[in-house]
Amino acid sequence: MQVVTANRLIDGRVVFRGADGGWVETIGAAVVLEEGAAAAAVAASAADVAARLIVEPYAIDVATEAAAIVPRTMRERIRASGPTAGSEAVALAALGRDA
Amino acid sequence: MYVYDAFDHRFVAARVAQFRDQVNRRLSGELTEEQFRPLRLMNGVYLQLHAYMLRVAIPYGTLSSRQMRRLAHIARVWDKGYGHFTTRQNIQFNWPKLEAIPDILEALADVEMHAIQTSGNCIRNVTADHFAGADPDEVADPRPYAEILRQWSSLHPEFTYLPRKFKIAVTGAAADRAAIRFHDIGLVVVRNAAGEIGFEVHVGGGMGRTPFVAWKLKDFLPQADLLSYVEAILRVYNLYGRRDNKYKARIKILLHEAGLDKIRAEVEAEWAEIRDGALKLAPADVAAIAAQFAPPVFAERVPESAIEAAASAADAGFARWVASNVRPHRVAGHASVTISLKPIGGVPGDATAEQMEAVATLADAHGFGEIRVSHRQNLILPHVARDDLPALYAGLVAAGLATANAGLITDTITCPGLDFCALANARSIPIAQEISTRLGDAARQAEIGPLEIKISGCINACGHHHVGHIGILGVDRKGREFYQITLGGSADEQAAIGDSAGPGFWPEEVPGAVETLVATYLALRSDPAETFLATYRRVGLAPFREALDHGAR
Ligand code: SF4
For the stretch A64-74, pLDDT in tens is 988 899 999 99
Q: Is B461 in the pocket of ligand 1 (CB under 6 A)?
A: yes
Who's near B542: CB < 8 A, 6+ residues apart? none
b (16+ CB within 10 A) / e for B84-120: bbbbbbbbbbbbbbbebbbbbbebbbebbbbbbbbbb
Q: Is B123 helix (H, G, I), strand (E, B) or coil?
A: strand
pTM assigned to the model: 0.95
Domain total in chain A: 1
Inspect the interface and report whether the beta carbons of A12 and B50 lie closer than 8 Å. Answer: yes
Which CATH superfamily does the domain covering B415-551 fall into?
A: Sulfite Reductase Hemoprotein, domain 1 (3.30.413.10)
Query: CB distance A72–B401 less than 8 Å?
Result: no
Mean pLDDT of all residues in B94-113 = 97
- Give the mean model confidence (pLDDT) for residues B200-207: 97
* Residues of chain A positioned with their CB less than 8 A from the CB of B101: none
Taking CB atoms and an 8 Å cutoff, what residues of chain A touch B420? 83, 86
For residue A6, tell me if it sits in a domain. Answer: yes
Q: Of the candidates B61, B93, B88, which has an alpha carbon nearest to the alpha carbon of residue B353?
A: B93
Q: What is the mean pLDDT of chain B?
A: 97
C-alpha to C-alpha distance for A40 and A59, rounded to whole angstroms = 10
Overall average pLDDT of the B149-173 stretch: 96
Tell me the per-residue pLDDT of B455-488, one tens digit each, with 9 for 90 and over. Answer: 999 999 999 999 999 999 999 999 999 999 999 9
Residues of B in contact with A14 (CB under 8 A): 49-50
Average confidence (pLDDT) over B428-432 = 96
Q: Does domain B134-291 have CATH number 3.90.1200.10?
A: no
pLDDT (tens digit, 9 = 90+) per residue, B487-503?
999 999 999 999 999 88
- Of the residues B50, B458, B475, which should be mutated to test ligand 1's pocket, given the most ligand atoms within 8 Å of the CB? B458
Listed as ranges, residues in chain A with pLDDT below 50 are 87-99
Cβ atoms of B496 and B539 within 8 Å: the answer is no
Angle (deg, nearest 10), helices B316-325 and B306-314: 120
**Smallest Cα distance from A77 to chain B, Å:** 10
Residue B550's pLDDT is what?
86
Share of chain B above pLDDT 90, in %: 98
The neighbouring-strand residues paired with A54 are: A8
Q: Is residue A99 part of a domain?
A: no
Mean pLDDT of the B168-194 span: 97
Mutate to test the interface with A, among B419, B435, B481 (most CBs of A within 10 A): B419
DSSP lists the bridge partners of residue A55 as A7
Mutate which of B94, B415, B455, B475 for ligand 1? The one with the most ligand atoms within 8 Å of its CB, which is B415
Does the structure show a pLDDT above 50 at B297?
A: yes
pLDDT in tens, B302-329: 999 999 999 999 999 999 999 999 999 9
Q: Are B527 and B521 in contact (CB under 8 A)?
A: no
Interchain proximity B343–A99, CB inside 8 Å: yes
Under 8 Å CB pairs connecting chains A and B tally to 120
Question: Which tens digits make up the pLDDT trace of B13-62?
Answer: 999 999 999 999 999 999 999 999 999 999 999 999 999 999 999 999 99
Residue pLDDT, tens place only, B36-49: 999 999 999 999 99
Distance CA A26, CA A41 (A): 18
**Chain B contact for A53, CB < 8 A?**
no
User: What is the fold of B306-399?
Assistant: Sulfite Reductase Hemoprotein; domain 2 (3.90.480)
Q: Ligand 1 pocket, B462 CB below 6 A?
A: yes
Mutate which of B423, B429, B454, B473 for ligand 1? The one with the most ligand atoms within 8 Å of its CB, which is: B423
Task: Identify which of A23, A15, A28 has the alpha carbon closest to the alpha carbon of residue A66.
Answer: A28
Provide the b/e sequence for B193-205 (b: ≥16 CB within 10 Å).
eeeebbbbbbbbb
The DSSP result for B42-106, as a single string, is: TTTEEE-SSSEEEEE--GGGEEEHHHHHHHHHHHHHHSSSEEEE-TTS-EEES---GGGHHHHHH
- Side chain identity at residue B141, one-letter code: D
Domains B6-109 and B415-551 share a fold: no
SS (H, E, C) B227-294: HHHHHHHHHHHHHHCCCCCHHHCCHHHHHHHHCHHHHHHHHHHHHHHHCCCCCCCCHHHHHHHHHHCC
Render pLDDT for B265-274 as a digit per residue (tens, 0 to 9). 999 999 999 9
Residue B423: which of B47, B34, B39, B82 has the closest Cα? B47
* Angle between helix B101-110 and B65-78 (nearest 10): 160
Query: What distance in angstroms lies between residue B417's CA and the mean position of ligand 1's atoms?
Result: 5
Structural domain includes residue A56: yes
Who's near B131: CB < 8 A, 6+ residues apart?
B138, B173, B177, B327, B336, B372, B380, B382
Ligand 1 in contact with B417 (CB < 6 A)?
A: yes
Sheet order of strands, A68-71 included: A23-24, A14-17, A2-8, A54-65, A68-71
B6-109 placed in CATH 3.90.480.20: yes
pLDDT digits (tens, 9 = 90+) for B216-249: 999 999 999 999 999 999 999 999 999 999 999 9
Domain positions in chain B are 6-109, 134-291, 306-399, 415-551
Please tell me if the CB atom of residue B42 comes closer than 6 angstroms to any atom of ligand 1: no
Inter-residue contact B99 to B25 (CB < 8 Å)? no
Does residue B146 line the site of ligand 1, with CB under 6 A? no
Confidence class for position B381, pLDDT limits 50, 70, 90: very high
Percent of chain B with pLDDT over 70: 99
When CB atoms are compared, the residue of B347, B396, B404 closest to A90 is: B347
Could you tell me if the CB of B44 is within 6 A of ligand 1? no
Verify whether the Cβ–Cβ distance B352 to A92 is below 8 Å: yes
Is the pLDDT score of B541 beyond 70? yes
Within 10 angstroms of residue B391's Cβ, the number of other Cβ atoms is 16
User: What's the mean pLDDT in B128-154?
Assistant: 97
Strand stretches in B405-479, DSSP E = 413-414, 453-456, 470-477
Q: At what angle do helices B389-398 and B353-366 cross, to 10 degrees?
A: 170
Closest CA to B1 of B172, B139, B144: B144
Using a CB–CB cutoff of 8 Å, tell me whether A70 touches chain B: no
- CA-to-CA distance for B304 and B309, rounded, in angstroms? 8
Q: Collapse the DSSP code of A98 into the 3-class scheme (helix H, G, I; strand E, B; otherwise coil) and give the result.
A: coil
The C-alpha of B249 sits at a distance from chain A's nearest C-alpha, in angstroms, of 27
Query: Is residue B49 within 6 Å of ligand 1 at its C-beta?
Result: no
Task: State the residue range of the domain holding A58.
Answer: 2-94
Contact B396, B337 (CB under 8 A): no
Residue B506 pLDDT > 70, yes or no? Answer: yes
Count CA atoms closer than 13 A to B276's CA, side-chain side. Answer: 1
